[in-house]
Amino acid sequence: MFGQKPRDVNIYFEKRVKLASSNQGFIDLFWPGTLLVEQKSQGSNLVKARAQATDYYLALKDYERPRYILFSDFQSFELLDLETYEEYAFSLADLLDNIRHFGFVAVTSAWAMQP
């Protein structure tokens, strides 16, 4: 997104986390301190994704916890800003109209890549 490569911004796919229940889970996409993404199959209820993401968030160390959490079934998106408590929900068809909510990707990436 915004021309950023995962290796340039320390993004992890299928990041393993140990949950409070002693089970382990896998965060679909994790950018420490910035973003946690939980994806479900198309047409899935995002309530389960939200519950999973909450468990993952609580299992992370304080300094790893992201500001943003994104839930998606590849057709519907819900983005939470944990700092401002704002939530944005939109469909894939409306992504272009909502792309501004992802401005943190470009800003955070540019900041992280400075010498």
Assign residue 49 the CATH number of its domain: 3.90.1570
- Asked if residue 1 belongs to a domain, the reply is no
pLDDT in tens, 91-104: 999 999 999 998 88
Banded model confidence at residue 108, pLDDT cuts 50, 70, 90: low
In one-letter notation, the amino acid at residue 10 is N
- Asked if residue 53 belongs to a domain, the reply is yes
Mean pLDDT of the region 52-57: 92
Return the number of other C-beta atoms located less than 10 Å from residue 78's C-beta.
18
CB 98 within 8 A of CB 88: yes
- Asked if residue 59 belongs to a domain, the reply is yes
- Asked if residue 81 belongs to a domain, the reply is yes
- Asked if residue 21 belongs to a domain, the reply is yes
d(CA 41, CA 30): 18
d(CA 55, CA 34): 17
By residue range, what is the domain housing residue 97?
6-112
| The pLDDT value given to residue 22 | 73
Number of compact structural domains in the chain: 1
d(CA 79, CA 61): 21
- Asked if residue 93 belongs to a domain, the reply is yes
